[in-house]
Structure 1
Amino acid sequence: ALLRKFAIREDREELGNNTGPRFKSELINPRKGTPTSYIAKYISKNIDGRGLAGEISKETGKSLRDNAEYVNAWASLHRVQQFRFFGIPGRQAYRELRLLAGQAARQQGDKKAGAPVLDNPRLDAILAAADAGCFATYIMKQGGVLVPRKYHLIRTAYEINEEPTAYGDHGIRIYGIWSPIAEGKICTHAVKWKMVRKAVDVQEAAADQGACAPWTRGNNCPLAENLNQQGKDKSADGDTRTDITRMDDKELHDYLHSMSKKERRELAARLRLVKPKRRKDYKQRITDHQRQQLVYELKSRGFDGSEKEVDLLLSGGSIPSGAGLRIFYRNQRLQEDDKWRNLY
């Protein structure tokens, strides 16, 4: 009832008695899966749709892989932070406790395993839960769920950064942990690291490495390896893209309709880079009126408008017009542009 109230509060008058478009709840059917699998599938839907290319949404009739892009765009537009934990103790304090437990184990190697690390038993119980990796016990030892942060027993400690940033301000950095029921702070970052620019390897810099797409959560493996695992053919020249020349009409139709929007955009970009092949005897057919109009427009631009220039343009050629631009005739129009800009 509480979730339903928040889901329909903005459009309550418009919805009337039918609140299904904004909120719908039903009991979980064990035959379809467990609650964990249900949540995991919806997280996959909203991250990148990986593994859902073959499934169609019952609501939109489109591929679930494409729906992930729409969800991310909607969340970005409305500043919705998806899959964000709330109502639990800070995860950074959990990480710092695990770091502290590892440091203590190395320094106290002669002590028995499980020996107390902190003097306060309540704080040491929280550290033991974090060290064991039991997040549920860590939550309960910190005070439970939906407890304000000011009541947590262990919190992350910060300090002012000594070195200013490029803009002259002093930011904060993690120092360790602290507790309102104990005095002082415990440092877990004794070694201060500094990011510096990597030294340039002359031989590596001189080598032509080629362009490579940045790694994301969806392509965290080399591109060639991903494509090979998906059953794509590799040609003799090392191209790992799918060879559509071997497909018949039905296979090509199914392949094009199974592509995501991102893949279709990449395909369209590659097609724009292909220089159209012209037959040696190729020549655009225009009427006498269009030919006279072309001659007049050439003269208005400072050209002779001779038969040679007209035939060159009708054959798919171009004439330099200065400043690195060229004029060419396409779709019954005289255009001026850098004709081969996509080939650079």
Structure 2
Amino acid sequence: MVAEIPRPWAARLLSAWEKRRASFNPLVTTGEGTARRIANEQLRANVAMLRPVNEALPLDASDTDLCNVAWDMAEKCRVKLLAIQAEQEHVPTAEFLDAVRAAIGVAVSPGGVDEFEQRARISAVCVSGGISPPEAARYEDQPAVRRMVAAHWWTGRLRKAHGKAKETAAINLGLVRRDRECYASSVSVLDRQWQNERNAATLAATIAKNIETEQEFTLAELAAKGPANAAIKRAELMTRINGFERIAIAAGHTGLFLTITCPSKMHRMKTQGARTVENGKWDGTTPDQAQKYLAKVWARIRASLARKQVSLYGFRIAEPQHDGTPHWHCLFFYEAKHDATVRATVRRYALAMDGDEPGAQEKRCDFKTMDPAKGTAAGYIAKYVAKNIDGYRLEKDLEGNDALETSARVEAWATRWRVRQFQQIGGPPVTVWRELRRVESVPSDAPDFVHAAHGAVNKIAVIEGRANASVAWDRYVAAQGGVSCGRNYRVRIAKAQSESIGRYGETGAPVIVGVEYFEVAKVRDAIGNWIDILPRTVTVESKRFTWEIMRPAASARAGYAARPVSGLDLGFKREHRAPWTCVNNCTGDGDGLQRAGGLRVENGGVLRGHGEWGHRRSGLEGEMCGEKDQGGTANATADDQTRGKAGNHGNHFAARGSRSNLTQ
């Protein structure tokens, strides 16, 4: 009964079963049998709460087991697709197409009818496998079908579903609580640790070569130069928060630190003094559902304040309470005259659900006015930022746990439930800020706001009068039009249409090439007289390099050499091995064979796919299921590989200069 659940949980359940079984009065004849029956019933009830994604994927399944199930489900979908295509080998008559048009209300083509039927019938396999099929509003029929027959897509979906099922089981068992496993279960924390180690090993073993400078770096070295680095992420957040506070002080705005908590029925546990007990009101709400509730509450607050012409700016931080239920910390700045309106609006919507329950008025909404005489707002919120990233300069959290352990558990909680921890409220977007840092210079005749924005995001001594002058978020916001600019910010991201075709047959998303701005230029004649004006959008390209992904280092895989061995020639012709990264730079060995994302392709047909463990074959597309893909290919033909257009990246891709972050 407990064989297919994680061992720590099985041990806890069996220990509880043994205590119940042994708790009987030996003087009562039926006492032992009654105690055993009660223990068995409770054990069955506890195990019944631990529901896996599907029967083939128990809660104690490893990532290897999960990938194997993904291969099986993709193959099942592929076989079903072939059967459907065999049934569809006919030419639809005009009467048939007219009937379909009458049924759905739009004209259809014969191919469209076939793809619609394929999608509808294969989606049933996804539902039976415990995951949702591709969203109808997001994907067309043909890309949706290609996803459902791809092991790579199944792997990603199953990982999400399996992780949530495992953490939901831990919450149902009452393991996630202050006095046991705070914020997230230890099983999920360990899974996340292993995942991070696998990703780190992959990045460290993969080399990127700069084509222009001939320099080589590991992907780990390049990733450390971007927001994927916890220190850089924390510093950037604090820079932006401090910039907003500078704006508020200069404008005389009020600062408010707000905490919004979910209703008691969304909490698995409750505290009674120093004790933590089960909450009898809990309705089964999971942390991701509670996060959606908070997002909806905030959407109503924001919309109501916008109707009242109240502008907010600041940051929102989502973090878990001891039982995994999220709550929000918000630092907002606004005009002092709107203080009463802001507080009343927040209380109205935050307490709309169960606002009359005991303690709701005092605990569900907590307001703290920022007082510059007592300290800065950025300094007050810094501990929340550090707690949710890396525990920087913290010793203990509010629950008395070590800061480093807390940050690891919070990070595991956020990734397990797909919770966005930090969100900027108001002001211009940070994407333009980051892209401006890749722009070496702007045109000399550009408007003043362009020069101001470019100078604000780069370390220029003249801004603050010292050689290590910091970047200035407040000056960047002013150059973009202020904290209330909304979507009308001045400097924008410039994008170019991508020519690449993704693994599922879709055109790649537009790629960022720099920044752009609108200006009204003066047109002058040959002698310099102003004769007309010319409205135009000017694009300034950012500095980018072309990178080539090299083969992994020799230590990455046993028996996998990054460089050829010299001085040893046995007369054999060595076969190219399938790459285990998402980018393949092999050009074939002259016999007509090309490779695409770990596949051997001959005359456009797939011969064999190689998984991470090398013991499974793919379906139609044969993706490797053990990778964290960055846009490689799986359905490319030999001609596509020759042209370098098989995937979202192909053999070369543009990176972001010295501040590149090549991982998600």
Q: TM-score range by the shorter chain?
A: 0.3 to 0.5
TM (normalized to structure 1)?
0.44
Higher strand share: 2
